[in-house]
Amino acid sequence: MNCPLDSSTVKLYKSTLTVNNLDKIECCNSFNTNLSNSKNYYSYIYFNELEQYFLLYCTDKQELFYIRRRGF
């Protein structure tokens, strides 16, 4: 789906998007900014309670970020 995330999507994925304080990790410090860029795309893949992925593709930089969440 196109970015930015709407408020209901943010609420739904909040625990995944805020895990490990992404803003403090150098390679991800622009992650939240990229979520707001309307040129970018995101997807969320849910296998089960034990494995979930959030993907963000940045069109300008041609970069793909993903967050893999395992466990509860």
CA–CA dist 72, 65 (Å, integer): 22
Q: Quick one: pLDDT at residue 59? A: 93
Any domain includes 58: yes
Domain extent for 46 = 7-70
Predicted model pTM: 0.75
Any domain includes 2: no
Total domains, the chain:
1
Q: Which residues are registered as beta bridge partners of 66? A: 55
The full DSSP string for 28-56 is GTTHHHHHH-TT-EEEEEEEETTEEEEEE
Any domain includes 45: yes
Any domain includes 1: no
Per-residue pLDDT tens digits for 31-63:
778 888 999 999 988 887 778 888 999 999 899
- Looking at residue 71, its amino acid is G
Map residue 9 onto helix, strand or coil.
helix
